Amino acid sequence: MKELETIELSLFLEAVFRYSGYDFRGYAPSYIRRRVLDFMKEESATTISCLQDKVLHQKDCFHRFLDFITIGVTEMFRDTSFFKTLREKFLPVLKNNSFNRIWVAACSTGEEVFSIAIALHEESLLDTCKMYATDINETSLEKAKAGIFPLASMKKFTENYVASGGERSFSQYFTAKYENAMFSKKIHKNITWSRHNLLSDASFNEFQLILCRNVLIYFTKDTQAQVHKLLFESLADNGILALGAKESIALTPFEKNYKTLDADNKLYQKI
């Protein structure tokens, strides 16, 4: 039964790729299997083949599948040590440049993007930076672009903001309306949102800072190497790369081309 399930999963991922261009074939097998099987239960499908029929022939089911696979759990100023270190040690370095491009890859619903934008604003850097926020999921991008988050999340976001070095009133950045918090346009005026697939799309600019955090862990080793190549080619000389807590440039083909700036917070500089 396991062997048949493996065959079905492979055929399913290939079919999704050919049908839509969304490529999940390079995701870690244990992760993608678990997510597909969980989604199969959600859709009351008895087999992966039955699920494939629904995903390919029912547009609503396809969008539910995409959201289920790609939308991760995130929050503003998550990993407060990372944001505190970035704010205190490395964002000020950007002041040496007249203009900076920043790429937040796999940005999901935008919480990390707004966190960076607020930190840039408080370091008087926002007006000299152009931010690019990308994700594979267009639904996530639309949510992020709106700059609207549940008001109930603001308590946790505020706690994270303070713990990461924020010293102003976090509430100044949003307006409460009914059950939502609408973030000020001044914070996301310099952000360009666009769809980008890390597994199939090319580099599209040169950046002084790239954040690609907590996405590589879902990929196979070969796919990770492919993404590392993309990130390296997208970084300007002396540019800074930020990875997630469980990610590293160690044992990648580009390890020798980076200087470790902060091992604990996974910050590296292209040399």
Residue 176 β-bridge partners: 181
Report how far Cα 258 is from the mean position of its chain's Cα atoms.
Answer: 21
Mapped onto helix, strand or coil, the DSSP state of residue 85 is helix
Instruction: Give the CATH number of domain 80-270; options: 3.40.50.150, 3.50.50.60, 3.30.70.1560, 3.40.190.10.
Output: 3.40.50.150
- % residues pLDDT > 90 (the chain): 90
**Residue 221 CB: number of other CB atoms within 10 A?**
11
Q: Which residues contact 24 (CB under 8 A, 6 or more apart)?
A: 13, 16, 17, 32, 69
Q: Which residues contact 113 (CB under 8 A, 6 or more apart)?
A: 104, 107, 131, 133, 144, 188, 191
The mean predicted confidence, pLDDT, of the chain is 94
Judge whether residue 152 has pLDDT over 70.
yes
Task: Sketch the domain layout of the chain as residue ranges.
Answer: 2-70, 80-270
Judge whether residue 63 has pLDDT over 60.
yes
- Least confident among 57-71, 160-174, 182-196: 57-71
The tokens describing 86, both together, are 């970035």
Q: How many angstroms separate the Cα of 226 from the Cα of each of 42, 67, 202, 251, 257?
A: 32, 24, 11, 13, 16
**Residue 160 CB: number of other CB atoms within 10 A?**
20
Residue-wise pLDDT for 122-142, tens only, equals 999 999 999 999 999 999 999
Cut 0.85: pTM above it: yes
Decide: 235 and 206 in contact? Cβ < 8 Å: yes
Decide: 48 and 36 in contact? Cβ < 8 Å: yes
Q: Of 257, 266, 251, give the one whose Cα is nearest residue 214.
A: 266
